[in-house]
Amino acid sequence: MPPGCPFNPRCPQAEDICREQRVSLEPSRARLVACHFGGLKTLLDARDVGKTFRRGRRRMQALDAVSFALRQGESVGVVGPSGSGKSTLARILTGHLATDTGEVTLEGRPLARSWGRAARAQRVRIQLVMQDPWDALSPRLTVEELVREPLDLAGGGGDGGDSAGSVAAALASVGLPASGNFLGVRSHELSGGQLQRIALARAVIIESELLVADEPTSMLDASEQARLMVALRERQTELGLGLVLISHGIALVRKATEGGET
Amino acid sequence: MSALRSPLALAGVGLVTLLVVAAVLAPVIAPYAPDVPSGPSYASPSLDHPVGTNNLGQDMLSRLIWGARASLTVAVGAATLALAIGGVVGMAAGLVGGVVDTVAMRVVDILLAVPRLPLLVLVAALAGAGVLTVTVLIGLMFWPPMARIIRSRTLSLRGRGFVESARGFGAGLPYLIRRHLLSALGPLVAVEFVAVASNAVLLEASLAFLGLADPTAVSWGLDINRALAEPGIYFTSAWLWWVLPTGFAITLAIMGFTLLGVGLEPVLNPRWERGS
């Protein structure tokens, strides 16, 4: 038996306390739970989030009092027609856009949009997979540079051998090759499905805890959609990631979030 | 290389290369010293003097070659200065936004409204018209349009997905500028650099033509100024080799920079062939 909580080696929310102190059964959410955090931690909490865009005298309310909570490893689906504010919500949840009303917190701390070190470190924990992979990936960088960028920014890209191995593993985890030819091509030479899987590889190569996928399959054909969703679900299960899947297709959301709470 | 498929762009590359080679190798390829009489006055073109001589017996071919050096020095110096100031102001205004953007753009608006040549003439007349002064003056005149263009492109890049993604990975301002903005701004900056260089050649020649230049310097504009000041120049055939080749050199230099600018974008923009 490992010291501390017996589940800590495979628990995605394990912290130092889980490795050091044993845990006993305690009441939590009307159940008895043996966990230092009372069970699954609430990762992301959106409370009464509102956003209004103004152009001259015109005002358009994109979001009105949106609330939900996402616990570690859970999946949440957001479904709505085009123009209903789904992408606005995705950008707010990832700290790219400020709210007008309400608040979004990550493990109890409000999401900050500043350029400060703490705000940047917080943003890394939530990754956005954008709708348009051609826009999300710089046309000037090669596949290797694109996948390595998050490592470089996290300060883990210094050792060439390690980073090359991480890049290869991340690409393999989304079903892409890590050959020299493929690593050297630029985004405009790849298909939408390949680009979206590269975007997913970038999101999982660092230790992010939550993925917000904003209509990730809307620009892909049926076979690429299936491949991407399989890769997304596999990585979510393997890494214990939280997932907010945004789509206008309820069938896709139901499929991707089945087994979780939606 | 897309540029090499366009004859006009190829001509631009050729003309600017010729200008650079002439400027760099002037001491080697010029047959005579440009400021020393090397033959009779007004000598018509011959084997000894392929482009003839001026009123002082100075070899015109040598003056044309050395004049390229003066023009290129001013062109590159002024364009570099304009790019440095315009780049910093434009990127800061575009990325930071808010008050910084508002103040910077109002200053740019005011400077853009100032007529360039009269101001240049006035300041050059008061401060002296050495190569350094002219270079700095032209550079200071051309940073506002450069800043406006770079700010506009920076604003559009700030909203692009790959810049937001990098911010999501924890990128700070220096990284965004170094990794994403500079490379994305590269084609635009290169084209603008060449456009300023082209204007600088013309302005330097214009000032020298008006007599605002170091009288001991070798400059295309100064040669035309002297030729036109010569009484009865058009009653002899000397204008054919004193005025025409110099004017032709100025025209070719400006045309070379312009065509180079046209040819640079397809080479520097990897998505050009996709038409996006």
Q: Is B223 exposed, middle or buried (0-12, 13-18, 19+ CB in 10 A)?
A: buried
Contact B168 A128 (CB under 8 A): yes
Chain centroid to CA B112 = 18
pTM of the predicted model as reported, rounded to 2 decimal places: 0.72
Is A118 within 8 Å of chain B by CB?
Answer: no
**Nearest by CB: B170 against A94, A121, A130:** A121
- Residues A89, A49 contacting (CB under 8 angstroms): yes
Average pLDDT of span A37-54: 88
**Nearest by CB: B270 against A124, A140, A150:** A140
Is B237 within 8 Å of chain A by CB?
Answer: no
Is B171 within 8 Å of chain A by CB?
Answer: yes
Distance (Å) from the alpha carbon of A149 to chain B's nearest alpha carbon: 8
- A212-232 pLDDT tens trace: 999 888 877 888 788 888 888
- A16-33 pLDDT tens trace: 888 888 888 888 777 788
Nearest to B183 by CA among B103, B64, B271: B271
Q: Report whether pLDDT(B271) > 60.
A: no
Which of B163, B164, B169, B185 has the highest number of chain A CBs within 10 A, making it the mutation to test binding with A? Answer: B169
ipTM above 0.85, yes or no: no
What's the rounded Cα separation, in Å, for the pair B167 and B173? Answer: 9
**Nearest by CB: A127 against B168, B180, B274:** B168
Task: Report pLDDT for B106.
Answer: 95
Mean pLDDT of chain A: 85
Is B177 within 8 Å of chain A by CB?
Answer: no
Task: Report pLDDT for A148.
Answer: 93
Strand partners, A186: A142
What's the rounded Cα separation, in Å, for the pair B37 and B114? Answer: 42
Task: Report pLDDT for B268.
Answer: 61
Work out the percent of chain B whose per-residue pLDDT is above 70: 94
What's the rounded Cα separation, in Å, for the pair B83 and B86? Answer: 5
Task: Report pLDDT for B81.
Answer: 96
Work out the percent of chain A whose per-residue pLDDT is above 70: 95
Structure tokens at A237: 């299960």
- B71-85 pLDDT tens trace: 899 999 999 999 999
Give the residue from chain A lying closest to B276, CA to CA: A188
Element (H, E) at A239: helix A222-239
Q: How many helices (H) and strands (E) does chain B have?
A: 12, 0
Kindly indicate the confidence band of residue A261, based on its pLDDT and cuts at 50, 70 and 90: very low
Contact A139 B183 (CB under 8 A): no
- A89-111 pLDDT tens trace: 999 999 888 899 999 998 888 88
Distance (Å) from the alpha carbon of B167 to chain A's nearest alpha carbon: 8
Q: Is A197 exposed, middle or buried (0-12, 13-18, 19+ CB in 10 A)?
A: buried
Kindly indicate the confidence band of residue B267, based on its pLDDT and cuts at 50, 70 and 90: low
Structure tokens at A199: 């975007």
Average pLDDT of span B103-116: 92
Q: Are strands A75-79 and A26-28 parallel, antiparallel or unpaired?
A: unpaired
- B174-226 pLDDT tens trace: 888 888 888 888 878 888 898 899 899 888 888 888 888 888 888 898 888 88
Q: Report whether pLDDT(B4) > 60.
A: no
**CA angle centred on A188, ends A185 and A190, rounded to 5°:** 65
Contact B164 A128 (CB under 8 A): yes
Tokens 């050649």 -> residue: B201
Work out the percent of chain B whose per-residue pLDDT is above 90: 35
Can you list the domains of chain A with their CATH numbers? 1-39 (no CATH), 73-95+114-256 (3.40.50.300)
Kindly indicate the confidence band of residue B2, based on its pLDDT and cuts at 50, 70 and 90: low
CA–CA distances in Å: residue A215 to residues A54, A179, B49: 25, 29, 74
